[in-house]
Protein backbone atom coordinates (compact mmCIF):
# COMPACT_ATOMS: atom_id res chain seq x y z
CA UNK A 1 0.00 0.00 0.00
CA UNK A 2 1.21 3.49 -0.82
CA UNK A 3 2.45 5.55 2.13
CA UNK A 4 0.49 8.77 2.81
CA UNK A 5 3.79 10.59 3.37
CA UNK A 6 4.28 10.38 -0.42
CA UNK A 7 0.91 11.92 -1.21
CA UNK A 8 0.96 15.62 -2.02
CA UNK A 9 -1.95 18.02 -2.15
CA UNK A 10 -1.30 21.24 -4.10
CA UNK A 11 -3.75 24.15 -4.04
CA UNK A 12 -3.07 26.87 -6.60
CA UNK A 13 -4.30 30.44 -6.19
CA UNK A 14 -4.29 33.13 -8.87
CA UNK A 15 -3.24 33.30 -12.47
CA UNK A 16 -2.33 30.87 -15.23
CA UNK A 17 1.37 31.44 -14.54
CA UNK A 18 0.84 30.00 -11.06
CA UNK A 19 -1.02 27.05 -12.56
CA UNK A 20 1.93 26.48 -14.87
CA UNK A 21 4.37 26.58 -11.93
CA UNK A 22 2.16 24.10 -10.05
CA UNK A 23 2.30 21.78 -13.07
CA UNK A 24 6.10 21.95 -12.92
CA UNK A 25 6.14 21.21 -9.17
CA UNK A 26 3.73 18.31 -9.67
CA UNK A 27 5.96 16.94 -12.46
CA UNK A 28 9.10 17.24 -10.34
CA UNK A 29 7.41 15.55 -7.40
CA UNK A 30 6.10 12.71 -9.53
CA UNK A 31 9.64 12.12 -10.81
CA UNK A 32 10.78 11.91 -7.18
CA UNK A 33 8.24 9.21 -6.31
CA UNK A 34 5.42 11.37 -4.92
CA UNK A 35 1.79 11.22 -6.06
CA UNK A 36 -0.79 13.98 -6.18
CA UNK A 37 -4.03 13.72 -4.25
CA UNK A 38 -7.19 15.85 -4.34
CA UNK A 39 -7.83 15.13 -0.69
CA UNK A 40 -5.81 17.22 1.81
CA UNK A 41 -6.87 14.89 4.66
CA UNK A 42 -4.93 11.97 3.19
CA UNK A 43 -1.86 13.98 2.13
CA UNK A 44 1.56 13.77 3.77
CA UNK A 45 2.55 17.08 2.17
CA UNK A 46 0.29 20.10 1.67
CA UNK A 47 1.47 22.98 -0.46
CA UNK A 48 -0.31 26.26 -1.19
CA UNK A 49 0.97 28.02 -4.32
CA UNK A 50 -0.05 31.55 -3.46
CA UNK A 51 -1.03 34.75 -5.23
CA UNK A 52 -0.89 38.34 -4.03
CA UNK A 53 -2.81 40.31 -6.60
CA UNK A 54 -5.31 41.68 -4.07
CA UNK A 55 -5.50 41.93 -0.28
CA UNK A 56 -8.65 39.79 -0.40
CA UNK A 57 -6.71 36.83 -1.83
CA UNK A 58 -4.11 37.23 0.90
CA UNK A 59 -6.80 37.05 3.61
CA UNK A 60 -8.21 33.93 1.97
CA UNK A 61 -4.80 32.25 2.04
CA UNK A 62 -4.15 33.13 5.69
CA UNK A 63 -7.57 31.84 6.62
CA UNK A 64 -6.90 28.55 4.77
CA UNK A 65 -3.60 28.32 6.64
CA UNK A 66 -5.50 28.66 9.92
CA UNK A 67 -7.58 25.59 8.98
CA UNK A 68 -4.48 23.64 7.98
CA UNK A 69 -2.85 24.48 11.31
CA UNK A 70 -5.54 22.39 13.01
CA UNK A 71 -4.82 19.50 10.65
CA UNK A 72 -1.12 19.76 11.48
CA UNK A 73 -1.88 19.69 15.21
CA UNK A 74 -3.75 16.43 14.69
CA UNK A 75 -1.03 15.06 12.38
CA UNK A 76 2.36 16.51 13.47
CA UNK A 77 4.18 14.55 10.75
CA UNK A 78 2.27 16.50 8.06
CA UNK A 79 4.63 18.71 6.02
CA UNK A 80 3.05 22.08 5.33
CA UNK A 81 4.55 24.58 2.88
CA UNK A 82 3.82 27.80 1.07
CA UNK A 83 5.26 29.12 -2.19
CA UNK A 84 4.47 31.80 -4.78
CA UNK A 85 3.83 35.54 -4.81
CA UNK A 86 2.65 36.07 -1.22
CA UNK A 87 5.80 34.38 0.09
CA UNK A 88 8.01 36.43 -2.22
CA UNK A 89 6.38 39.69 -1.12
CA UNK A 90 6.32 39.20 2.63
CA UNK A 91 8.29 36.15 3.82
CA UNK A 92 8.79 37.48 7.37
CA UNK A 93 5.10 38.25 7.75
CA UNK A 94 4.18 34.78 6.46
CA UNK A 95 6.47 33.13 9.02
CA UNK A 96 5.26 35.42 11.80
CA UNK A 97 1.62 34.58 11.10
CA UNK A 98 2.19 30.89 10.38
CA UNK A 99 5.20 29.75 12.45
CA UNK A 100 4.04 26.14 12.07
CA UNK A 101 4.99 26.10 8.35
CA UNK A 102 7.73 23.59 7.48
CA UNK A 103 8.97 25.50 4.45
CA UNK A 104 8.46 28.53 2.27
CA UNK A 105 9.71 28.92 -1.31
CA UNK A 106 9.82 32.15 -3.34
CA UNK A 107 8.79 32.58 -6.98
CA UNK A 108 12.37 31.87 -8.13
CA UNK A 109 12.81 28.85 -5.83
CA UNK A 110 9.68 26.76 -6.36
CA UNK A 111 11.49 24.19 -8.52
CA UNK A 112 13.67 23.22 -5.52
CA UNK A 113 10.65 21.59 -3.90
CA UNK A 114 11.80 17.91 -4.14
CA UNK A 115 15.17 18.58 -2.45
CA UNK A 116 13.47 20.71 0.21
CA UNK A 117 11.02 17.90 0.96
CA UNK A 118 13.87 15.43 1.17
CA UNK A 119 15.69 17.65 3.70
CA UNK A 120 12.55 18.11 5.77
CA UNK A 121 11.67 14.41 5.78
CA UNK A 122 15.21 13.68 7.00
CA UNK A 123 14.84 16.29 9.73
CA UNK A 124 11.44 14.95 10.77
CA UNK A 125 12.91 11.45 11.12
CA UNK A 126 15.86 12.76 13.10
CA UNK A 127 13.52 14.72 15.34
CA UNK A 128 11.35 11.73 16.08
CA UNK A 129 14.47 9.78 17.11
CA UNK A 130 16.22 12.54 19.10
CA UNK A 131 13.27 14.69 20.23
CA UNK A 132 15.01 17.88 18.92
CA UNK A 133 13.04 20.57 17.10
CA UNK A 134 13.62 20.30 13.35
CA UNK A 135 14.64 23.28 11.23
CA UNK A 136 12.29 25.10 8.91
CA UNK A 137 13.41 25.62 5.29
CA UNK A 138 13.23 29.17 3.92
CA UNK A 139 14.31 29.81 0.33
CA UNK A 140 13.27 33.17 -1.03
CA UNK A 141 15.68 34.63 -3.55
CA UNK A 142 15.23 37.31 -6.18
CA UNK A 143 15.58 36.87 -9.94
CA UNK A 144 17.14 33.43 -9.73
CA UNK A 145 17.16 31.79 -13.19
CA UNK A 146 14.57 29.03 -13.59
CA UNK A 147 16.12 25.91 -15.18
CA UNK A 148 14.85 24.63 -18.52
CA UNK A 149 13.59 21.14 -19.33
CA UNK A 150 11.75 20.44 -16.08
CA UNK A 151 9.02 17.76 -16.15
CA UNK A 152 5.41 18.91 -15.95
CA UNK A 153 2.30 17.11 -14.86
CA UNK A 154 -0.28 18.83 -17.06
CA UNK A 155 -3.81 19.21 -15.80
CA UNK A 156 -5.34 19.18 -19.27
CA UNK A 157 -4.81 16.69 -22.08
CA UNK A 158 -5.33 18.71 -25.25
CA UNK A 159 -4.62 22.30 -24.33
CA UNK A 160 -1.50 23.42 -22.45
CA UNK A 161 0.01 26.53 -20.91
CA UNK A 162 3.56 27.35 -21.96
CA UNK A 163 5.41 30.13 -20.20
CA UNK A 164 7.50 32.23 -22.58
CA UNK A 165 8.75 34.81 -20.09
CA UNK A 166 8.60 35.77 -16.46
CA UNK A 167 8.39 39.07 -14.64
CA UNK A 168 7.35 42.54 -15.69
CA UNK A 169 9.13 45.89 -16.16
CA UNK A 170 6.05 48.09 -16.21
CA UNK A 171 5.40 49.04 -12.59
CA UNK A 172 1.75 49.98 -12.99
CA UNK A 173 1.06 51.91 -9.82
CA UNK A 174 -1.46 49.42 -8.37
CA UNK A 175 0.37 46.20 -9.14
CA UNK A 176 2.70 43.92 -7.23
CA UNK A 177 3.97 41.75 -10.06
CA UNK A 178 7.35 43.45 -10.70
CA UNK A 179 8.10 43.09 -6.97
CA UNK A 180 7.05 39.46 -6.62
CA UNK A 181 7.99 38.10 -10.04
CA UNK A 182 11.00 40.31 -10.75
CA UNK A 183 12.04 41.97 -14.02
CA UNK A 184 11.27 40.54 -17.46
CA UNK A 185 13.26 37.47 -18.46
CA UNK A 186 12.40 35.74 -21.74
CA UNK A 187 12.90 32.03 -22.19
CA UNK A 188 15.15 31.08 -25.11
CA UNK A 189 13.10 30.60 -28.27
CA UNK A 190 14.51 27.11 -28.91
CA UNK A 191 13.41 25.87 -25.47
CA UNK A 192 9.88 27.18 -25.98
CA UNK A 193 9.66 25.55 -29.40
CA UNK A 194 10.99 22.25 -28.06
CA UNK A 195 8.36 22.25 -25.30
CA UNK A 196 5.56 22.93 -27.79
CA UNK A 197 6.84 20.33 -30.28
CA UNK A 198 6.78 17.72 -27.52
CA UNK A 199 3.25 18.75 -26.60
CA UNK A 200 2.11 18.46 -30.23
CA UNK A 201 3.70 15.00 -30.47
CA UNK A 202 1.71 13.96 -27.40
CA UNK A 203 -1.54 15.05 -29.07
CA UNK A 204 -1.95 18.56 -27.65
CA UNK A 205 -3.82 20.72 -30.13
CA UNK A 206 -3.78 24.08 -28.42
CA UNK A 207 -1.20 26.10 -26.51
CA UNK A 208 -1.57 29.32 -24.56
CA UNK A 209 1.69 31.25 -24.42
CA UNK A 210 2.02 32.90 -21.03
CA UNK A 211 3.77 35.98 -19.77
CA UNK A 212 2.87 39.04 -17.73
CA UNK A 213 3.48 41.07 -20.87
CA UNK A 214 4.00 38.76 -23.85
CA UNK A 215 4.26 41.67 -26.27
CA UNK A 216 7.66 42.57 -24.86
CA UNK A 217 9.00 39.03 -25.34
CA UNK A 218 12.68 39.06 -26.31
CA UNK A 219 13.30 42.75 -25.64
CA UNK A 220 15.87 42.13 -22.92
CA UNK A 221 17.38 39.04 -24.55
CA UNK A 222 20.41 38.78 -26.86
CA UNK A 223 18.37 36.66 -29.28
CA UNK A 224 16.93 38.76 -32.06
CA UNK A 225 13.49 37.16 -31.80
CA UNK A 226 10.48 39.25 -30.82
CA UNK A 227 6.98 38.02 -29.98
CA UNK A 228 5.74 38.29 -33.57
CA UNK A 229 8.69 36.14 -34.74
CA UNK A 230 8.03 33.62 -31.98
CA UNK A 231 4.38 33.31 -33.06
CA UNK A 232 5.58 32.65 -36.61
CA UNK A 233 7.81 29.78 -35.41
CA UNK A 234 5.12 28.26 -33.20
CA UNK A 235 2.65 28.41 -36.08
CA UNK A 236 4.88 26.05 -38.07
CA UNK A 237 4.76 23.25 -35.49
CA UNK A 238 3.12 20.21 -37.00
CA UNK A 239 0.05 18.83 -35.25
CA UNK A 240 -0.67 22.03 -33.34
CA UNK A 241 -4.01 23.60 -34.35
CA UNK A 242 -4.53 26.63 -32.13
CA UNK A 243 -2.32 29.29 -30.55
CA UNK A 244 -3.50 31.64 -27.83
CA UNK A 245 -1.50 34.05 -25.69
CA UNK A 246 -1.92 36.22 -22.65
CA UNK A 247 -1.38 38.91 -21.39
CA UNK A 248 -0.88 41.64 -23.98
CA UNK A 249 -0.04 45.16 -22.89
CA UNK A 250 -1.66 47.86 -25.08
CA UNK A 251 1.47 50.01 -25.11
CA UNK A 252 3.59 47.19 -26.58
CA UNK A 253 1.27 45.82 -29.26
CA UNK A 254 3.23 46.54 -32.45
CA UNK A 255 1.95 46.74 -36.03
CA UNK A 256 4.25 43.83 -36.83
CA UNK A 257 2.50 41.68 -34.21
CA UNK A 258 -0.90 42.75 -35.44
CA UNK A 259 -0.01 41.74 -39.00
CA UNK A 260 1.29 38.36 -37.80
CA UNK A 261 -1.88 37.71 -35.84
CA UNK A 262 -3.91 38.36 -38.97
CA UNK A 263 -1.62 36.28 -41.19
CA UNK A 264 -1.04 33.13 -39.10
CA UNK A 265 -3.78 30.49 -39.41
CA UNK A 266 -3.27 28.91 -36.01
CA UNK A 267 -3.42 32.15 -34.00
CA UNK A 268 -6.95 32.31 -32.60
CA UNK A 269 -9.18 35.33 -33.16
CA UNK A 270 -9.21 36.40 -29.54
CA UNK A 271 -7.16 38.97 -27.71
CA UNK A 272 -7.21 39.80 -24.02
CA UNK A 273 -6.15 43.44 -23.92
CA UNK A 274 -6.51 44.97 -20.44
CA UNK A 275 -7.62 48.60 -20.67
CA UNK A 276 -8.16 49.17 -16.90
CA UNK A 277 -9.88 52.56 -17.37
CA UNK A 278 -11.35 54.74 -20.10
CA UNK A 279 -10.17 57.97 -18.47
CA UNK A 280 -6.81 59.45 -19.44
CA UNK A 281 -6.46 61.00 -15.99
CA UNK A 282 -6.87 57.62 -14.31
CA UNK A 283 -4.69 55.79 -16.85
CA UNK A 284 -1.94 58.27 -16.07
CA UNK A 285 -2.38 57.75 -12.30
CA UNK A 286 -2.25 54.01 -12.91
CA UNK A 287 1.00 54.54 -14.88
CA UNK A 288 -0.27 52.41 -17.73
CA UNK A 289 1.76 54.22 -20.40
CA UNK A 290 -1.04 54.76 -22.97
CA UNK A 291 -4.12 56.90 -23.50
CA UNK A 292 -7.69 55.90 -24.30
CA UNK A 293 -7.13 57.25 -27.83
CA UNK A 294 -4.16 54.91 -28.27
CA UNK A 295 -6.26 52.00 -27.02
CA UNK A 296 -9.19 52.87 -29.28
CA UNK A 297 -6.82 53.20 -32.23
CA UNK A 298 -5.42 49.72 -31.51
CA UNK A 299 -8.93 48.29 -31.40
CA UNK A 300 -9.73 49.90 -34.76
CA UNK A 301 -6.58 48.46 -36.32
CA UNK A 302 -7.26 45.01 -34.84
CA UNK A 303 -10.83 44.98 -36.17
CA UNK A 304 -9.67 46.11 -39.57
CA UNK A 305 -7.02 43.39 -39.78
CA UNK A 306 -9.08 40.62 -38.10
CA UNK A 307 -12.79 41.52 -38.43
CA UNK A 308 -14.03 38.51 -36.41
CA UNK A 309 -11.67 39.10 -33.46
CA UNK A 310 -13.15 38.89 -29.95
CA UNK A 311 -11.70 41.34 -27.46
CA UNK A 312 -11.74 40.86 -23.71
CA UNK A 313 -10.35 43.15 -21.06
CA UNK A 314 -9.74 43.98 -17.38
CA UNK A 315 -11.25 47.07 -15.77
CA UNK A 316 -10.68 48.56 -12.33
CA UNK A 317 -13.31 50.96 -10.97
CA UNK A 318 -12.99 53.30 -8.01
CA UNK A 319 -9.27 53.97 -8.50
CA UNK A 320 -8.14 56.89 -6.29
CA UNK A 321 -9.24 60.18 -7.86
CA UNK A 322 -11.85 58.58 -10.17
CA UNK A 323 -14.67 61.09 -10.51
CA UNK A 324 -18.07 60.36 -12.02
CA UNK A 325 -16.93 61.84 -15.34
CA UNK A 326 -13.88 59.51 -15.40
CA UNK A 327 -16.17 56.57 -14.80
CA UNK A 328 -18.46 57.81 -17.60
CA UNK A 329 -15.39 57.76 -19.88
CA UNK A 330 -14.91 54.10 -18.97
CA UNK A 331 -18.56 53.26 -19.69
CA UNK A 332 -18.35 55.09 -23.00
CA UNK A 333 -15.20 53.20 -24.02
CA UNK A 334 -16.78 49.88 -23.05
CA UNK A 335 -19.82 50.70 -25.19
CA UNK A 336 -17.73 51.84 -28.16
CA UNK A 337 -15.35 48.89 -28.15
CA UNK A 338 -18.04 46.29 -27.45
CA UNK A 339 -15.95 43.83 -25.45
CA UNK A 340 -16.69 40.10 -25.56
CA UNK A 341 -15.87 39.82 -21.88
CA UNK A 342 -14.45 41.87 -19.04
CA UNK A 343 -12.92 41.01 -15.68
CA UNK A 344 -14.13 43.88 -13.54
CA UNK A 345 -12.88 44.81 -10.08
CA UNK A 346 -13.27 47.47 -7.43
CA UNK A 347 -9.89 49.00 -6.67
CA UNK A 348 -8.39 47.93 -3.36
CA UNK A 349 -5.01 49.23 -2.21
CA UNK A 350 -2.21 46.69 -2.22
CA UNK A 351 0.52 47.07 0.39
CA UNK A 352 3.84 48.26 -1.01
CA UNK A 353 2.45 49.66 -4.28
CA UNK A 354 2.60 53.31 -5.32
CA UNK A 355 -1.17 53.59 -5.64
CA UNK A 356 -1.64 52.57 -2.01
CA UNK A 357 -0.14 55.99 -1.10
CA UNK A 358 -2.54 57.94 -3.32
CA UNK A 359 -5.10 60.23 -1.77
CA UNK A 360 -8.67 60.88 -2.97
CA UNK A 361 -9.81 57.37 -2.10
CA UNK A 362 -13.23 56.48 -3.43
CA UNK A 363 -15.79 55.31 -0.84
CA UNK A 364 -16.56 51.59 -1.09
CA UNK A 365 -20.23 52.29 -1.68
CA UNK A 366 -19.46 54.47 -4.71
CA UNK A 367 -17.03 51.90 -6.14
CA UNK A 368 -19.58 49.15 -5.58
CA UNK A 369 -22.30 51.10 -7.39
CA UNK A 370 -19.97 51.83 -10.29
CA UNK A 371 -19.01 48.18 -10.52
CA UNK A 372 -22.67 47.15 -10.71
CA UNK A 373 -23.36 49.72 -13.44
CA UNK A 374 -20.35 48.52 -15.41
CA UNK A 375 -21.29 44.84 -15.09
CA UNK A 376 -24.85 45.61 -16.18
CA UNK A 377 -23.63 47.42 -19.29
CA UNK A 378 -21.11 44.71 -20.14
CA UNK A 379 -23.75 41.99 -19.80
CA UNK A 380 -26.07 43.82 -22.20
CA UNK A 381 -23.24 44.11 -24.73
CA UNK A 382 -22.33 40.46 -24.35
CA UNK A 383 -25.92 39.28 -24.77
CA UNK A 384 -26.20 41.35 -27.93
CA UNK A 385 -22.94 40.00 -29.33
CA UNK A 386 -23.73 36.39 -28.47
CA UNK A 387 -27.23 36.62 -29.99
CA UNK A 388 -25.58 37.59 -33.24
CA UNK A 389 -23.90 34.15 -33.34
CA UNK A 390 -27.18 32.19 -33.30
CA UNK A 391 -27.58 30.27 -36.56
CA UNK A 392 -23.85 30.44 -37.34
CA UNK A 393 -21.46 27.49 -37.75
CA UNK A 394 -18.41 27.73 -35.51
CA UNK A 395 -15.32 25.62 -34.93
CA UNK A 396 -14.86 24.44 -31.35
CA UNK A 397 -12.29 22.36 -29.54
CA UNK A 398 -14.15 19.95 -27.26
CA UNK A 399 -12.66 20.24 -23.77
CA UNK A 400 -14.66 18.21 -21.27
CA UNK A 401 -17.98 16.99 -19.93
CA UNK A 402 -20.17 19.95 -19.05
CA UNK A 403 -20.27 20.89 -15.38
CA UNK A 404 -24.06 21.08 -15.43
CA UNK A 405 -24.96 17.78 -17.11
CA UNK A 406 -23.02 14.59 -17.72
CA UNK A 407 -24.87 14.13 -21.05
CA UNK A 408 -23.40 17.33 -22.38
CA UNK A 409 -19.95 18.43 -23.46
CA UNK A 410 -18.35 21.83 -23.57
CA UNK A 411 -15.78 23.37 -25.83
CA UNK A 412 -14.39 26.72 -26.91
CA UNK A 413 -14.62 28.61 -30.15
CA UNK A 414 -11.51 30.19 -31.63
CA UNK A 415 -12.86 33.45 -30.20
CA UNK A 416 -12.78 31.81 -26.73
CA UNK A 417 -16.53 31.52 -26.24
CA UNK A 418 -17.82 28.52 -24.38
CA UNK A 419 -20.29 26.28 -26.23
CA UNK A 420 -22.34 23.54 -24.53
CA UNK A 421 -23.84 20.75 -26.64
CA UNK A 422 -25.03 17.15 -26.53
CA UNK A 423 -22.37 14.75 -27.69
CA UNK A 424 -20.40 11.56 -27.11
CA UNK A 425 -17.48 11.58 -24.66
CA UNK A 426 -15.21 10.36 -27.48
CA UNK A 427 -15.42 13.84 -29.00
CA UNK A 428 -13.31 15.28 -26.16
CA UNK A 429 -10.04 16.57 -27.59
CA UNK A 430 -11.43 16.90 -31.12
CA UNK A 431 -11.92 20.03 -33.13
CA UNK A 432 -15.42 19.96 -34.59
CA UNK A 433 -17.99 22.19 -36.17
CA UNK A 434 -21.19 23.13 -34.31
CA UNK A 435 -24.18 25.25 -35.17
CA UNK A 436 -25.11 27.79 -32.50
CA UNK A 437 -28.79 27.38 -31.63
CA UNK A 438 -29.16 29.57 -28.54
CA UNK A 439 -27.16 32.19 -26.69
CA UNK A 440 -26.72 33.47 -23.17
CA UNK A 441 -24.30 35.66 -21.32
CA UNK A 442 -21.78 33.04 -20.20
CA UNK A 443 -22.21 30.29 -22.78
CA UNK A 444 -23.69 29.42 -26.14
CA UNK A 445 -25.70 26.32 -26.94
CA UNK A 446 -24.75 24.35 -30.02
CA UNK A 447 -25.60 21.30 -32.11
CA UNK A 448 -22.94 19.14 -33.69
CA UNK A 449 -22.84 19.63 -37.44
CA UNK A 450 -19.66 17.73 -38.35
CA UNK A 451 -16.86 15.81 -36.64
S1 LIG B 1 1.80 45.30 -16.93
FE2 LIG B 1 1.25 46.41 -15.07
S3 LIG B 1 -0.55 45.27 -14.30
FE4 LIG B 1 0.48 43.93 -15.77
S5 LIG B 1 1.88 42.69 -14.52
FE6 LIG B 1 3.07 44.44 -15.26
S7 LIG B 1 2.91 45.95 -13.61
FE8 LIG B 1 1.29 44.43 -13.25
Render pLDDT for 222-271 as a digit per residue (tens, 0 to 9): 888 999 999 999 999 999 999 999 999 999 999 999 999 999 999 999 99
Ligand 1 site, residue 249, Cβ cutoff 6 A: yes
Ligand 1 site, residue 183, Cβ cutoff 6 A: no
Give the domain CATH number at 58.
Answer: 3.40.50.12160
Same domain assignment for residues 276 and 307: yes
Ligand 1 site, residue 109, Cβ cutoff 6 A: no
Same domain assignment for residues 329 and 410: no
Q: Is residue 151 part of a domain?
A: no
Q: Is residue 259 part of a domain?
A: yes
Same domain assignment for residues 97 and 10: yes
Domain's final residue, options 336, 367, 387: 387
Q: Is residue 145 part of a domain?
A: no
In this structure, the residue with its CA closest to atom 1 of ligand 1 is 170
SS (H, E, C) the chain: CCCHHHEEEEEECCCHHHHHHHHHHHHHHHHCCCEECCCHHHCCEEEEEECCCCHHHHHHHHHHHHHHHHHHHHCCCCEEEEEEHHHHHCHHHHHHHCCCCCEEECCCCHHHHHHHHHHHHHHHHHHHHHCCCCCCEEECCCCCCCCCCCCCCCCCCCEEEEECEECCCCCCCCCCHHHHHCCCEECCHHHHHHHHHHHHHCCCCEEEEECCCHHHCCCCCCCCCCHHHHHHHHHCCCCCCEEEEECCCHHHCCHHHHHHHHHCCCECCEEECCCECCCHHHHHHHCCCCCHHHHHHHHHHHHHHCCCCEEEEEEEECCCCCCHHHHHHHHHHHHHHCCCEEEEEECCCCCCCHHHHCCCCCCHHHHHHHHHHHHHHHHHHHHHHHHCCCCCEEEEEEEEECCCCCCEEEEEECCCCEEEEECCHHHCCCEEEEEEEEECCCCEEEEEEEC
Same domain assignment for residues 135 and 10: yes
Separation of 177 CA from ligand 1 center, angstroms?
6
Same domain assignment for residues 97 and 22: yes
Taking alpha carbons only, the member of 170, 153, 252, 248 closest to residue 210 is: 248
pLDDT tens string 395-405: 999 999 998 88
CA distance 428 to 324: 47
Q: Is residue 182 part of a domain?
A: yes
Same domain assignment for residues 69 and 179: no
Same domain assignment for residues 343 and 381: yes
Residues with pLDDT less than 70, the chain: 1-4, 123-135, 143-144, 450-451
Ligand 1 site, residue 177, Cβ cutoff 6 A: yes
Same domain assignment for residues 260 and 332: no
Ligand 1 site, residue 213, Cβ cutoff 6 A: yes
Same domain assignment for residues 50 and 119: yes
Give the domain CATH number at 437.
Answer: 2.40.50.140
CA distance 332 to 327: 9
Same domain assignment for residues 325 and 377: yes
Q: Is residue 150 part of a domain?
A: no
Separation of 172 CA from ligand 1 center, angstroms?
5
In this structure, the residue with its CA closest to atom 2 of ligand 1 is 172
Domain's final residue, options 358, 387, 416: 387
Domain that holds residue 35: 4-139
Give the domain CATH number at 256.
Answer: 3.30.750.210
Count of structural domains, the chain: 4
Ligand 1 site, residue 175, Cβ cutoff 6 A: yes
Domain's final residue, options 104, 139, 174: 139
Taking alpha carbons only, the member of 209, 187, 207 closest to residue 198 is: 207
Separation of 117 CA from ligand 1 center, angstroms?
33
Q: For ligand 1, what atom is nearest to the CA of residue 212? A: 5
Same domain assignment for residues 260 and 361: no
Q: Is residue 147 part of a domain?
A: no
Q: For ligand 1, what atom is nearest to the CA of residue 181? A: 5
Ligand 1 site, residue 16, Cβ cutoff 6 A: no
Q: Is residue 149 part of a domain?
A: no
Same domain assignment for residues 43 and 132: yes
Tallying the residues shown for the chain, one arrives at 451
Ligand 1 site, residue 170, Cβ cutoff 6 A: yes
Q: Is residue 130 part of a domain?
A: yes
Amino acid sequence: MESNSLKVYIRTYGCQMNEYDSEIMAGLLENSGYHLTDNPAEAGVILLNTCYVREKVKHKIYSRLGELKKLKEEKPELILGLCGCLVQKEPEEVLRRAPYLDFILGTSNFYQLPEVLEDISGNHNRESQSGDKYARVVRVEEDRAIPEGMPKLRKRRFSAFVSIMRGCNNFCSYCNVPYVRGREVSRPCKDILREIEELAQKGYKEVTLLGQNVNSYGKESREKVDFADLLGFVDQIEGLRRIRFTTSHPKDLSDKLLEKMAELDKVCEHLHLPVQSGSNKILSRMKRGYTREHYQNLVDKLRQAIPEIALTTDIIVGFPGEEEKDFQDTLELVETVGFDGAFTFCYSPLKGTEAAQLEERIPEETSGQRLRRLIELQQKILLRKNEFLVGKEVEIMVEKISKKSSDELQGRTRTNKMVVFEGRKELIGNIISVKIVASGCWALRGEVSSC
